[in-house]
Structure 1
Amino acid sequence: MKNLIFIILPLALLSMLTGIYIGFIRIGWAFPVSASLPVPHHGILMAGSFLGTLISVERVSVLKTRWVWLIPILMISSLFFLLFQQDQLAFGVLLAGSIGYLGISFQNFLTYKLKGDMLMLVGAFFQIVAFTIFIFTHSYPMSFAGWLLFFLLTIVGERLNLTRFLPVSRKADRELYTWFGVLIVSSFLYHFGFAVVVSLCLWGIAQWLLRNDIALVNIRKDGHYKFLGAALIGAYIWLFITGALGLIKSDNPYLYDALLHAFFIGFVLSMVLAHAPIIFPALLQIRVSPFHPFMYVWLFALHISLFMRVYGDIFENYDLRKLGGLFNGLSFVGYLLTIALLIIKKKIQQK
């Protein structure tokens, strides 16, 4: 069943490319548009068909039970339903896949009892919340809190699992759980005057990660360790910025775009950049550790272009946000192409 990865992973990347191309169109680039392109659903393609599939396939690839592969299959099938204008079916299979993902997250927590698995279990629940709200409301702003909690809990949980050898005190653990507990409650009350509390919690989690994760240690090393540290620090800074943007009260229609992409590009996709040299070789069962200094070019391009976009959003500079959005997508695709070429090169050298 693990051979399915060679079908699912390329389709997940196709979802990503489709989502990025639609993102270019939505931000104002006059690129060709076919009738089959699901232009309204850039968010579903990126959060569900791409990232939802990628996260689920990473989890099921280490399990021995065959049925669990149905989860990423359901998630990635949403791409085809979207391309054939069967939106409700696409949302339905994503919800079904997220329910299955909750099941394996629960199984993992019962098996290993790790702190990170506990956070990922809670995060899996909020993925279901996000898709359920979206199915009933068709509103991305209404569903955003669910996806934010899903990705934030999943990513922090993954970092805890990867760094469980670090001497993190029980006091520090309690601090992190407190930040998340308050964040979850205040997210439900966001529109009732709790926006400030949500922002404070995002700052609290970001500073906790900077203090207790391995980023500040890795940045002093060389090679891919230093790159990992730089990518992690960048992601945590964007989590701070997300919190700051949440404090701005304005009628600016682009402010939501700034907040949304500060989190999804600045935090989530920076984390994908940080872990891609680890995740993709592991999924493909290839024993290589791809690294080249050119990877920094794409990392910095992503951050600079995102800053351009956010600045353009805040000050309603249409051309700047449009240019920033273009280079957001190009830098992420360029990075993944670089990783692919490095993996192929190292694989050839091993023969």
Structure 2
Amino acid sequence: MNNTACPHGPASWAKPLLLGVVAISLVSGVLGGLARLGVAPSSIDGAVWLNHALLWHAGLMICGFLGTVIGIERAVAVKRPMAFLAPLLSGAAGLCFIAGYAMLASALLVAAASLFVAVNVVIVRRQRAAHTVLLLVAALAWLIGNLHFAFDATSPATLSWWFSFLVLTIAAERLEMTRLMRRHPAAQPSFFAAVALLLAGAAASAVSPVGGGVLFGTALTLLATWLVVFDIARRTVFAAGLPRYMAACLLGGYLWLAVAGVAWAAMVLGAPTRDIAWHALGLGFVISMVMGHAPVILPAVARVKLLFGRPFYVPLLALHLSLALRLGPGAFDTTLRAAGASMNALTLVWFAATVVGGIAAWRWLHRGPVVTPLKEKPR
């Protein structure tokens, strides 16, 4: 029997388990980030696991959380039970980070990324297109980043490759959507030129952190410019309903991607813009994309129905405003930076509650009438 069609196959137990692991990595990563700024809740302040989460904040957020989420989405798309091994391993790596076993976590991440590359090879074989090849390149970027982390956790190239994985995954999905539009002849060549520059910057960061970082930051800004000019979001923002909301998420994210590019180049040149570079990219760009795609991807992955409505705009606006506070005035005032970071965390909780509310609202609106079976009259 095909396990993908069997309700008791590997995927049936893997997805609930993975969603729990994803939640643990996300919550721990967020609390670890807050602890870095001295904003940990007093009830857990000083806990051993929180110290681990503080130390491995980036690994938890990028690999334990986002890497696992992307792995789940790809496993569902490929429809092969073995594909769930990749997110299972990256999810386990997140738990190892929290427990303080960073060396084991690094080994699990290398294994997870290797399997994830294999999953993307299957996808390319099924559909040989520019965007699927780019998804494979993104998977390879994650593997290279994990190898850097395994051999030298302090390597400046690790974050460049990890962020390349996220940026290229998102860019590939947007490249696929541009096929619905009439594209300028220079659109695709300029896109792949920016991608090549991004990969060159990540690779060069291992031997020349300054030169590679400048290339990497420049590529981020060029990709942001390309997305603003050519992405279908600049048209769908004038639509209504979910397409307009998604476009708002995307366009806002592209602006933060441009900010991250400038801040990244300034950071490697010695400017105090590290928080701006990392969190304009990780929160402003990546989480904006997550918010935009969640109402579409979550129902497909978790097999639930979700009612979209205007309340989804509230956490989106809160994300941008809190991030502007953190990276604007907060860049010069530690108190404002901590306040902005706390609001960032609350925004994620708010968005999760909005999603749960959307699921509950759909179920309430589509509840069936209670039917009482008729009793047969005694003869």
TM-score, length of structure 2 as denominator length: 0.86
Alignment partner, residue 364 of structure 2: 348
Shift in alpha-carbon separation, 1:84–1:247, aligned structure 2, 3 A? closer
**Percent identical across equivalent pairs?**
28
Alignment partner, residue 294 of structure 1: 311
Deviation per CA, 1:126-162: give whole Å up to 9, x if none: 1011111112222274411101211111111122234
Alignment partner, residue 236 of structure 1: 254
Alignment partner, residue 104 of structure 1: 119
Please show how residues 130-141 of structure 1 align to structure 2 within 5 Å: 130-139=145-154, 141=156
State the AA in 1 paired with 2:298.
Answer: F
Alignment RMSD (CA, Å): 1.9
Gaps of 5+ in 2: 1-9, 368-379
CA distance in 2, matches of 1:347, 1:173: 42
Alignment partner, residue 89 of structure 2: 74
Deviation per CA, 1:315-347: give whole Å up to 9, x if none: 3x1111111111111102211221121112202
1:303 and 2:320 correspond: yes
Alignment partner, residue 338 of structure 1: 354
Cα shift at 1:251: 4.8
Alignment partner, residue 56 of structure 1: 71
Alignment partner, residue 204 of structure 2: 189
Alignment partner, residue 38 of structure 2: 28
Conserved? CA contact 1:255–1:313, under 8 Å: no
Shift in alpha-carbon separation, 1:22–1:324, aligned structure 2, 3 A? same
SS in structure 2 of the partner of residue 263 of structure 1: helix
TM-score, length of structure 1 as denominator length: 0.93
Alignment partner, residue 261 of structure 1: 279
Alignment partner, residue 336 of structure 2: 320
Gaps of 5+ in 1: none
CA distance in 2, matches of 1:266, 1:56: 22
CA distance in 2, matches of 1:35, 1:193: 38
State the AA in 2 paired with 1:128.
Answer: L
Deviation per CA, 1:224-260: give whole Å up to 9, x if none: 11111110000100011012213436755x5212211
CA distance in 2, matches of 1:201, 1:83: 33
Conserved? CA contact 1:123–1:149, under 8 Å: yes
Q: Which deviates more from structure 2 when the two are superposed, residues 270-279 or residues 79-88? A: 79-88
Alignment partner, residue 186 of structure 2: 171
Conserved? CA contact 1:78–1:90, under 8 Å: yes
Alignment partner, residue 5 of structure 2: none
CA distance in 2, matches of 1:247, 1:130: 19
Match of 2:132 among 97, 117, 134: 117
1:2 and 2:11 correspond: yes
